[in-house]
């Protein structure tokens, strides 16, 4: 009988470099001890609850004003927050399905297949997926989750000796490094738009010297310091991917994990372009096969988008609903025939299952932090320990820690922005730079918890414990790189 055990089971981490050995040890630990993503949020709920009790928050308390968003006890705050992300949940589910539909369309699938043929060695394959995933996340984080996951599968098929767990971790790397500094970064887009930024945040921004109450992208993610910081973290991420990739003797391939990798295009592909059923076509089926109404819907949506963006800054006007509409129209156009679009949506829906299950629980965690005194208490400790030089790295650390429990860059920014920017004003630290600091710190938290890994994991057929040893190892390098960058590249010692 053939030996089906992975070679690493025999040789351990022998012959690997120190970073690869570290990654393999962390991965062995997480594979054994780490719960699945759903277990992680269950445990996280009670970690926050116990922390609140330990810091003096009441267990049961409800404010008299039914519209209040503060003054709750922990249990009531959990209940108030449980459905607070329901709109965001549907937006995230749609963005995952839309991204999947775009990525599995014929033209994009052919692009992925060509890219997947570039790497030829196991180590090169891991580094290549990391580089492409981070670049894609800089352009759009939601699309990158799906695009990079499908790319990782196709690379694993072309380079079968590559470690499949490492490829999965690298497919997610963009969400843990540069996404928030990119074109879809939540915080930067919020402060650049008066319609997206809450009034209290705009008041603090005016106090910082921006009379309009907004901070343009040219003062946040497009400053030369922010671009250098992003490039620095990007390079560290690619280098780490190269060094943590295990050799053939220690790799767990897709075959070792029992995962079948079908080709993305061509013979054997689920997307061969043929209709799944073999029944004779009825005259009424012409609508499913004709591109006529697909093109009419695309035309309708395009006219709307042109009118929507007319007279507005593109990046300021871009929000999740608009991104979802663009993905929907693009997928409809690329699939051409309605039945292909319907199939892609049906096949992509399972990737959103984890979001539908876990987002309400994260909403409860959000409520316990935002609707009680926990968030303000943490901020007070932060300011007391800060000065001009230490404030940026301390905010990055705080944003990372809070991001483990409130894993939403946009929602968490609403929590942090008023007191972080107010403290920056008091310490005379540039407000635009603090948005950059928040972005880099907040993104790093994604390497420590599996919330945003769910779509990637669903496509790859992996569990969170399979890749989190690698993501934690990457965190140990990428997060210090971000701290170093936000400390040394600060554009102003004093506020503008």
Q: Quick check: 3 pLDDT over 50?
A: no
Q: Quick check: 164 pLDDT over 90?
A: yes
pLDDT value, residue 12: 54
Give yes or no for a contact between 388 and 72, defined as CB atoms under 8 angstroms apart.
no
pTM of the complete model beyond 0.85: no
Give yes or no for a contact between 264 and 154, defined as CB atoms under 8 angstroms apart.
yes
CA torsion angle 207 211 216 220 (round to 10): -30
Highest mean pLDDT among 349-358, 422-431, 469-478: 469-478
pLDDT value, residue 1: 39
Q: What is the pLDDT of residues 357-413, one digit of tens each?
A: 888 888 888 889 878 888 778 777 877 777 888 889 999 998 998 888 777 777 678
CA torsion angle 78 82 85 87 (round to 10): -150
User: Pick the residue with more confidence: 54 or 320?
Assistant: 54
pLDDT value, residue 4: 43
Percent of the chain residues past pLDDT 70, beyond the cut: 90
132: which residues sit within 8 A by CB, 6+ positions away? 115, 148, 151
User: pLDDT band at residue 316, thresholds of 50, 70 and 90?
Assistant: low
Q: Quick check: 494 pLDDT over 50?
A: no
Give yes or no for a contact between 78 and 359, defined as CB atoms under 8 angstroms apart.
no
Q: Quick check: 484 pLDDT over 50?
A: yes
Q: Quick check: 425 pLDDT over 80?
A: yes
Give yes or no for a contact between 102 and 108, defined as CB atoms under 8 angstroms apart.
yes
- Cα distance between the two ends of the chain: 72
pLDDT value, residue 195: 67
pLDDT value, residue 196: 67
Q: Of 36-45, 261-270, 475-484, give the lowest mean pLDDT range.
A: 261-270
Q: What is the rounded average pLDDT for all residues in the chain?
A: 85
Q: What is the pLDDT of residues 195-229, one digit of tens each?
A: 667 677 888 899 888 888 888 888 899 999 999 99
Nearest to 181 by CA among 448, 489, 467, 405: 489
What are the boundaries of each domain within the chain? 19-58+69-259+288-492
Q: Would you call 222 exposed, middle or buried from its count of C-beta atoms within 10 A (0-12, 13-18, 19+)?
A: middle
Alpha helices in 273-318 (DSSP H): 286-289, 292-309, 314-317
pLDDT value, residue 270: 58
Q: What is the pLDDT of residues 39-57, one digit of tens each?
A: 878 888 999 899 999 999 9
d(CA 254, CA 398): 37
DSSP code string of 101-153: HHHTSHHHHHHHHHHHTS--SHHHHHHHHHHHHHHHHHH-HHHHHHHHHHHHH
Q: What is the mean pLDDT of residues 480-490?
A: 92
Q: What is the pLDDT of residues 113-147, one digit of tens each?
A: 999 999 999 999 999 999 999 999 998 887 888 89
Q: What is the mean pLDDT of residues 462-475?
A: 93
Q: Quick check: 493 pLDDT over 60?
A: no
User: pLDDT band at residue 22, thresholds of 50, 70 and 90?
Assistant: confident
């Amino acid at each position: 009988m053939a030996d089906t055990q992975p070679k690493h089971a025999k040789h351990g981490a022998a012959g690997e470099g120190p970073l690869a050995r570290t990654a393999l040890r962390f991965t062995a630990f997480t594979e054994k001890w780490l719960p699945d993503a759903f277990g992680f949020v269950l445990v996280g709920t009670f970690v926050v609850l116990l922390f609140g009790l330990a810091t003096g928050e009441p267990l049961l308390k409800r404010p008299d004003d039914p519209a209040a968003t503060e003054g709750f006890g922990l249990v009531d705050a959990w209940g108030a927050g449980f459905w607070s992300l329901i709109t965001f949940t549907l937006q995230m589910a749609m963005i995952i399905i839309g991204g999947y539909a775009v990525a599995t369309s014929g033209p994009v699938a052919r692009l992925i297949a060509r890219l997947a043929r570039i790497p030829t060695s196991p180590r090169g394959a891991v580094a290549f997926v990391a580089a492409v995933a981070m670049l894609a996340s800089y352009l759009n984080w939601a699309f990158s989750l799906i695009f990079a996951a499908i790319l990782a599968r196709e690379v694993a098929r072309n380079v079968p000796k590559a470690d499949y767990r490492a490829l999965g971790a690298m497919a997610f790397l963009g969400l843990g490094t540069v996404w928030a500094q990119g074109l879809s970064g939540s915080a930067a887009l919020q402060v650049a738009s008066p319609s997206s930024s809450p009034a209290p945040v705009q008041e603090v921004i005016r106090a910082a010297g921006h009379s309009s109450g907004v901070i343009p992208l040219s003062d946040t993610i497009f400053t030369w310091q922010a671009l250098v910081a992003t490039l620095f973290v990007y390079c560290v991420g690619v280098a780490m991917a190269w060094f943590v990739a295990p050799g053939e003797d220690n790799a767990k391939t897709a075959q070792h994990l029992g995962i079948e990798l079908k080709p993305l295009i061509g013979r054997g592909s689920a997307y061969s372009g043929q209709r799944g059923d073999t029944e004779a076509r009825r005259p009424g089926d012409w609508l499913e096969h004709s591109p006529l109404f697909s093109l009419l819907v695309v035309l309708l949506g395009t006219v709307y988008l042109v009118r929507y963006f007319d007279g507005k800054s593109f990046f300021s006007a871009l929000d999740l609903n608009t991104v979802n509409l663009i993905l929907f129209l693009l997928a409809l156009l690329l699939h051409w025939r309605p039945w292909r679009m319907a199939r892609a949506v049906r096949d992509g829906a399972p990737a959103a299952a984890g979001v539908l299950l876990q987002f309400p629980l994260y909403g409860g965690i959000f409520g316990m932090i935002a609707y009680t005194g926990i968030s303000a208490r943490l901020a007070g400790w932060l300011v007391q320990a800060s000065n001009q030089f230490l404030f940026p790295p301390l905010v990055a650390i705080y944003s990372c820690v809070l991001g483990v429990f409130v894993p939403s860059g946009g929602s968490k920014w609403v929590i942090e922005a008023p007191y972080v920017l107010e403290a920056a004003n008091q310490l005379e630290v540039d407000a635009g730079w603090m948005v950059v600091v928040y972005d880099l710190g907040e993104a790093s938290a994604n390497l420590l918890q599996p919330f945003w890994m769910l779509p990637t994991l669903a496509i790859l057929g992996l569990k969170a414990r399979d890749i989190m040893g690698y993501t934690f190892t990457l965190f140990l390098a990428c997060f210090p790189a971000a701290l170093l960058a936000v400390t040394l590249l600060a554009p102003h010692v004093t506020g503008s």
